[in-house]
Amino acid sequence: MSRNTRFKNKVIIVTGAAQGIGEGVAMAIAREGGKLILADRSPLVHDVARNIKENDGEAQVILADLETWEGANSIAQKTLELYGRIDISIHNVGGTIWAKPYQEYAPEEIMAEVNRSLFPTLWSCRAVLPSMIKQQSGVIVNISSIATRSIHRIPYAASKGGVNAMTMSLAMEHAHNNIRINAIATGGTEAPARKIPRNPKPLSEQETSWYQAIIDQTVASSLMQRYGTIQEQVNAILFLASDEASYITGTVLPVGGGDLGMG
């Protein structure tokens, strides 16, 4: 199969599609013929859909809060109403809200980090599995992080460790249903400034220092001594989502320039 037709006529959900890696994944899949469901809680996702349609791609938008079961389930159900099946689901919602030593986190901030970076993937996997089991086929790609071994973002690290464990266990549980489930552990990634910042408050001098320490540690932990690009992450995600990876399941693939992360 030609690379530019790997996703022809496949129904593909991309969560967190409004910006960053999610937007990059959506645009790349559209170029390869996929029928896209773009899920996000930000109306900015409509701009991504418009761009895809202007380039002769197919995309539908579903606005939902992926931190809730109701939001995740609504995406699965509306996709089934539109297309009758879900072939691939790529779960991209997450990201560090605060950057600081663990003892500096307030209890409510810890809960917010877990709600942001673990539950959207937990709920999304639960939402799409029944239809994939029924059709006895499907692919799930969860977006994790090499930050499972890092500094100043312990609640995020714990959340992504949960994503890794869930990915490996679900793959074992559902291989007999012909469902492949893998994850990409993204490394530090160069990206434009977020259109909607996760933490809208300006950083103090101390918070800026803590965040810079993350950047320094991430670069130092990479054998290639640099951040990656969005396209380098997209390439790996699309590979695991495609039939080119038909004999790969239960794998967490680090894409961090040699930083393998951990568990």
Per residue of the chain (263 residues), what is the pLDDT tens digit? 455 789 999 999 999 999 999 999 999 999 999 999 999 999 999 999 999 999 999 999 999 999 999 999 999 999 999 999 999 999 999 999 999 999 999 999 999 999 999 999 999 999 999 999 999 999 999 999 999 999 999 999 999 999 999 999 999 999 999 999 999 999 999 987 766 666 778 889 999 999 999 999 999 999 999 999 999 999 999 999 999 999 999 999 999 999 999 76
Does residue 204 fall inside a structural domain? yes
Domain membership flag for residue 178? yes
Q: In this structure, how many other beta carbons lie within 10 angstroms of the beta carbon of residue 202? A: 8
Range of the domain at 230: 3-255
Residue with tokens 């609504």: 74
At a CB cut-off of 8 Å and minimum separation 6, what does 222 contact? Answer: 187, 188, 256, 257, 258, 259
Active site residues: 156
Query: Coil, strand or helix: which one is 82?
Result: helix
Number of domains making up the chain: 1
The verdict on residue 188 lying in a domain is: yes
* Residue 19 forms part of a structural domain: yes
| Residue 181, in any domain of the structure | yes
Q: Domain for residue 263, yes or no?
A: no
| CATH code assigned at 228 | 3.40.50.720
Taking a C-beta distance cutoff of 8 angstroms, is the pair 203, 163 a contact? no
Closest-CA residue to 52 (of 65, 33, 39): 33
Domain membership of residue 261 (yes or no) is: no
SS3 67: coil
- pTM for the complete prediction? 0.95
173 in a domain, yes or no?
yes
